Amino acid sequence: MPAKPIVLAITGGSGAVYAARLVQALLGSGRAVHLTISGSGAAVIRQELGIDIDVLTPDDSMTFQNMERFLEASDRLLGMDRRGGWVSTQAAMEAVSAGLLTVHHYKDYFTPIASGSFLTSGMVICPCSGSTLSGIAHAASQNLIQRTADVHLKEHRKLIVVPRETPLSVLQLENMHRLAQAGVIVLPASPGWYHGVQSLLDLVDFVVSRILDQLGIENAQIHRWEEDAAPATRQR
Q: Residue 82: its pLDDT value, please?
A: 61
Per-residue pLDDT band at 57 (split at 50, 70, 90): low
pLDDT digits (tens, 9 = 90+) for 140-171: 999 999 999 999 999 999 999 999 999 999 99
Peptide bond into 2 cis (omega under 30): no
Q: How far apart are the C-alpha atoms of 3 and 153, rounded to whole Å? A: 20
Q: State yes or no: pLDDT of 97 exceeds 60.
A: yes
Q: What is the mean pLDDT of residues 165-188?
A: 97
What's the start-to-end Cα distance of the chain, in Å? 49
Phi, psi at residue 84, to the nearest 5°? 105, 110
pLDDT-above-90 percentage for the chain: 78
pLDDT digits (tens, 9 = 90+) for 61-70: 678 889 999 9
Of residues 141, 130, 142, the one with CA closest to residue 175: 130
Q: How far apart are the C-alpha atoms of 203 and 70, rounded to whole Å? A: 19
Q: How far apart are the C-alpha atoms of 189 and 55, rounded to whole Å? A: 23
Q: What is the mean pLDDT of residues 130-147?
A: 97
CB 35 within 8 A of CB 104: yes
What is the greatest pairwise CA distance in the chain?
56
Q: Residue 59: its pLDDT value, please?
A: 62
* Alpha helices by DSSP H, the chain: 16-28, 39-49, 60-78, 89-97, 130-137, 144-154, 170-181, 200-215
Three-state DSSP class for residue 231: coil
Q: What is the mean pLDDT of residues 219-228?
A: 72
Q: What is the mean pLDDT of residues 59-88?
A: 83
Three-state DSSP class for residue 103: strand
The strand order across the sheet containing 6-10 reads 101-105, 33-37, 6-10, 122-128, 159-163, 185-186
Per-residue pLDDT band at 2 (split at 50, 70, 90): confident
Three-state DSSP class for residue 49: helix
Phi, psi at residue 92, to the nearest 5°? -65, -40
Better-predicted residue by pLDDT, 232 or 225? 225
Q: How far apart are the C-alpha atoms of 131 and 60, rounded to whole Å? A: 30
What pTM was estimated for this model as a whole? 0.92
Q: Residue 55: its pLDDT value, please?
A: 60
Q: What is the mean pLDDT of residues 31-46?
A: 95
Angle at 149 between CA 112 and CA 140, to 5 degrees: 110
Average pLDDT in the chain: 90
Q: How far apart are the C-alpha atoms of 7 and 35, rounded to whole Å? A: 6
Q: What is the mean pLDDT of residues 216-222?
A: 85
6-234 in CATH: which number? Answer: 3.40.50.1950
Q: Residue 84: its pLDDT value, please?
A: 60
Q: Residue 234: its pLDDT value, please?
A: 40
Per-residue pLDDT band at 229 (split at 50, 70, 90): low
Q: State yes or no: pLDDT of 44 exceeds 90.
A: yes
Per-residue pLDDT band at 236 (split at 50, 70, 90): very low
Q: Residue 235: its pLDDT value, please?
A: 37
